[in-house]
Amino acid sequence: MNRTRAIAALALAALAAGGANADVVAEFAMSDHPDGNAAPPFYGLRVDNLFNEGNINTFSIDHVGDSVITIHNNGGDLAIHMAGTLYGGQDGGAEGVDSGLYTYEFWFNEGVEEHDGGWRVIGTPDANGGYLDEVAGDFYATFGTKADGSGVSFIFAPDGHRIDGDDETWAGRGWVMADDVRRSGYTQDWLFTAEVIPAPGTLALALGGGLLTIPRRRRK
């Protein structure tokens, strides 16, 4: 295991132990973004040049539909957790790379702050990262955040990002790296939409009082 993977493994283990007791602020069901640069196919994660030099690699959230993004508040420290199953591989099904299922988990445990009605992540601490693992094989990629370690590395907010005139749909986006390599000139990012998952026991109350409106998931 290389240094980057070791750091990610240790960070994820610590985060998982602490995150289990963290208070859940909000939870959302994730979907592919309707305006992905490589659409079609639509995707929620794109990591070009991952399998072969110069290739586009996209991964769909909708294919399985079990991806969830959760916001935690652990003693005043905010954290963002994403996990689920992706389907994808080399865009267009080019020879030599088969599409398949990939489980993933990703934590933003440091640098998280409220922003524009949602949350954003500043900088790239070692504690922010995760993995993309092929269900049927041994492929493993360690993901980091914006390569230069500065600025905003992730935003999750209903800010109308690339959805013209829509400031209600939640959208998440942020740069990633695979195996600690930022591939200049290629697209490597999260890009997805999401819908709130009401806390147990609150849905009936909210609907009964007319207080909650949940937008429909966009159909492709």
Which structure tokens are listed for 166?
């829509």
pLDDT tens per residue across span 58-101: 899 999 999 999 999 999 999 999 999 999 887 654 444 568 89
Phi-psi category of residue 16: left, alpha or beta, with phi > 0 → left and psi -120 to 50 → alpha: alpha
Q: Considering the chain, what percentage of its residues have pLDDT values greater than 90?
A: 36
pLDDT tens per residue across span 122-148: 987 777 888 888 776 666 777 876 656
If you count them, how many residues does the chain have?
220
Please report the pLDDT score of residue 138 as a whole number: 65
The residues near 155 (Cβ < 8 Å, ≥ 6 apart) are 115, 116, 118, 119, 120, 121, 161, 172, 173, 174
Please report the pLDDT score of residue 17 as a whole number: 45
Give the amino acid at 61.
I
Please report the pLDDT score of residue 47 as a whole number: 85
Please report the pLDDT score of residue 58 as a whole number: 87
Structure confidence at residue 119 as a pLDDT band (50, 70, 90): very high
Q: What is the mean pLDDT of the chain?
A: 75
Find the distance separating the first CA and the last CA of the chain, reported in whole Å. 39
My answer on whether omega of the bond before 40 falls inside 30° of 0, hence cis, is yes
pLDDT tens per residue across span 168-202: 999 999 888 776 666 666 788 899 999 999 876 44
Whole-model pTM: value is 0.77
Residue ranges of the alpha helices (H) in the chain?
Answer: 3-19, 203-208
Please report the pLDDT score of residue 163 as a whole number: 82
Please report the pLDDT score of residue 27 as a whole number: 96
Angle made by CA atoms 40, 46, 50, in degrees to the nearest 5: 120
